[in-house]
Structure 1
Amino acid sequence: MTQSALNQLKNLTTIVADSSDLTAIEKFRPLDATTNPSLITAAANQAENKSLIEAAFQQAQQEGYSEDALIERSIDILTVKFGVEILKLIEGRVSTEVDAALSYDTEATIAKAKELLELYAQYGISSDRLLIKIASTWEGIQAAKVLEREGIHTNLTLLFGQHQAHACADAKVTLISPFVGRILDWYKKAEAVDAYPIEKDPGVLSVKNIYTFYKAHRIQTEIMGASFRSIDQVLGLSGCDLLTVAPNLLAELENDFREVQPQLSAAAITVQADLQPISYAEFQEQLEQDQMASELLQGGIQGFIKAREQLAALLRETFLSPTEI
């Protein structure tokens, strides 16, 4: 019997579920899973997760938090609770994101990462099953560098340019998540194009370039393509270290039976000299010169902040009376 594209892909690449939908994760049984504020907020609005929300709020109350701090603590606890539930369904790791509002504050990012790890420890979850997800700003990457030195594994997200990948390599982060679909969206709008053939898809090409860059310089950091708009984009990166895919696209891959060929292979890449570190000035200059990466990084951070604010509003509406707000 012909294998599905999903099963063929699993033989080439580690597939990760890009979801906080526990039902979908249970169905597809990926090795790892990733979450972000938007996914957590969406999951919190599902009736079946009401008990998790209530338990998170009650725990924050019992810890003595009140007013705004109560809401913020409840969100952190809820985020971890979703992670714990996800880990019951998978064998690998879950990525949990630091509050995006801290993306330009190295010390605050480090502190928040450790708070999240302490919460996971309360549920008996060891750090080797966790990736702390941080936006790929210079400050976020420096926070990841400190955390990695302390044995805390990180996933650098909202990554759109090679300068970000270079800084992440210098920091020896565990994993990076270059975004495919958002790059495609940006170029379609900027160039007034409806579509690109997959071999010219700007998002796919961006990840391929980063993959070649890393493998040529023998960088140990894992590359996980993220933010896909179609299964063609997913299959266009077959052979990548990891790919994190939303449940709707996993379902499409499960029902597709085309032959899947590897599109990326480290064995085919010529090894180059050791990579020289990128400086802060070089990083900032390259970010400023790359309009796409600059706009998408800032827009992504603002989007995640907005999603967290929406979750905060939901918690206030659910648990706090007008006199308590």
Structure 2
Amino acid sequence: MKSKLAQLRTMTKVVADTGDLEAIRELKPYDCTTNPSIVLKAVSAPSSRPIFDEALSWGAKQSGTKEAINNAVADRLAVSIGVSLAAEVPGRVSTEVDADLSFDIERSLERARRIITDYEHRGVDRGRILIKLAATWEGIKAAEILQNEGTDCNLTLVFSLAQAIACADANVFLISPFVGRIMDWHAKATGKTYLPQEDPGVLSVRSIYDYYKSNGIDTIVMGASFRNVGEIEALAGCDRLTIAPPLLQELEVSQGQLERQLSPESVRAVAPISMDEARFRWALNDDAMATEKLADGIRLFAKDLTALRSMVASNLALVEA
């Protein structure tokens, strides 16, 4: 019998939640997704030292304030990791707009366009890239503009149906609901251990999937942030699932029948909901979990972005010494 990972690939596009090139080559995912935490981990690995050294050498030749140069080198590293990943997968590579721009439409657009330009200058077509933005109201509005310009977007840190509906209204290419983080919040709040079929994160993705498919919405649903293979198995058949290497490896060695859980033919009908800014903000405000986890996710990504910039600054000072 095929492994559960092989079975999953027949019903879901599998994405690797890592920037580790060796893991990508071994596990052969369809897409790769990155964020500041993944980039920070990737450039800290010995195998990525040539990428890090090239970015530092490039930065040492730039003019401007130290802060501007540090930030530019950090930006270059994110794209450099993405270029390396694009060479290893047949699909897309997500590259994230700075988390500290999550509430600024114009600066998010400026950063996103620069990312795309950097990729194109290095021979990677924009059709291979997804611009990743936090699913704040501002992030969604920035994505809507980018989509109209022909740049596909991945809206991350999705914790509620309201966010998913606003993303669909903006015609974004893909959303990333965070299964494990939703479960984490509820487990802490209730003290309960959840089985996969009752896992609040799993149920959240299923509700979004039902809404999208029953209303003919093309936006791709990509479950993310898994805590165990049970959550993954409970979402078999979802459009895409982004999975960390340890869980991919666990699925690779797991035997047994993997039953499809989601399919467009068996969705629950859900009436369309009109979503404007006021309704979006109220729905988010009324959902303590979504409010807290969205804010927490942005803070965590911003913290790792700051750590990446600090690493760049200290190493750039050595190069210039």
TM-score range, shorter chain: over 0.9
Is the Cα contact below 8 Å between 1:155 and 1:177 reproduced in 2? yes
CA distance in 1 between counterparts of 2:74 and 2:176 reads 23
Q: Which runs of 5+ in 1 are unaligned?
A: none
Question: What secondary structure is seen at the aligned counterpart in 2 of 1:320?
Answer: helix
Residues 261-282 of structure 1 show CA distances to partners (whole Å, capped at 9, x for unaligned) of 1100111136666x35311110
Question: What secondary structure is seen at the aligned counterpart in 2 of 1:91?
Answer: coil
What corresponds to 2:29 in structure 1?
A: 30
What corresponds to 2:212 in structure 1?
A: 214
Q: Is 1:255 the counterpart of 2:256 in the alignment?
A: no
1:57 CA drift (Å): 2.2
* Aligned ranges 1:1-325 → 2 under 5 Å: 2-193=1-192, 195-269=193-267, 275-320=272-317
CA distance in 2 between counterparts of 1:32 and 1:253 reads 17
Letter of the structure 1 residue corresponding to residue 209 of structure 2: Y
Larger mean CA deviation between 51-60 and 78-87 belongs to 51-60
1:58 CA drift (Å): 2.1
Q: Which runs of 5+ in 2 are unaligned?
A: none
CA distance in 2 between counterparts of 1:127 and 1:322 reads 32
Question: What secondary structure is seen at the aligned counterpart in 1 of 2:242?
Answer: strand
Residues 78-136 of structure 1 show CA distances to partners (whole Å, capped at 9, x for unaligned) of 00000000011111100000000000001111110000001101111111000000000
Length-normalised TM-score, structure 2: 0.97
Q: In percent, how many aligned pairs have the same letter? A: 42
In the TM superposition, structure 1's runs of 4+ consecutive aligned residues that sit over 6 Å from their partners are none
| CA separation of 1:178 and 1:272: change in aligned 2, threshold 3 A | closer
CA distance in 2 between counterparts of 1:323 and 1:47 reads 22
Residues 39-79 of structure 1 show CA distances to partners (whole Å, capped at 9, x for unaligned) of 11011111221111111122233343440111100011000
Is the Cα contact below 8 Å between 1:60 and 1:77 reproduced in 2? no
Length-normalised TM-score, structure 1: 0.96
CA distance in 2 between counterparts of 1:172 and 1:321 reads 46
Letter of the structure 1 residue corresponding to residue 77 of structure 2: L
1:33 CA drift (Å): 0.5
Question: What secondary structure is seen at the aligned counterpart in 2 of 1:214?
Answer: helix
| CA separation of 1:235 and 1:54: change in aligned 2, threshold 3 A | same
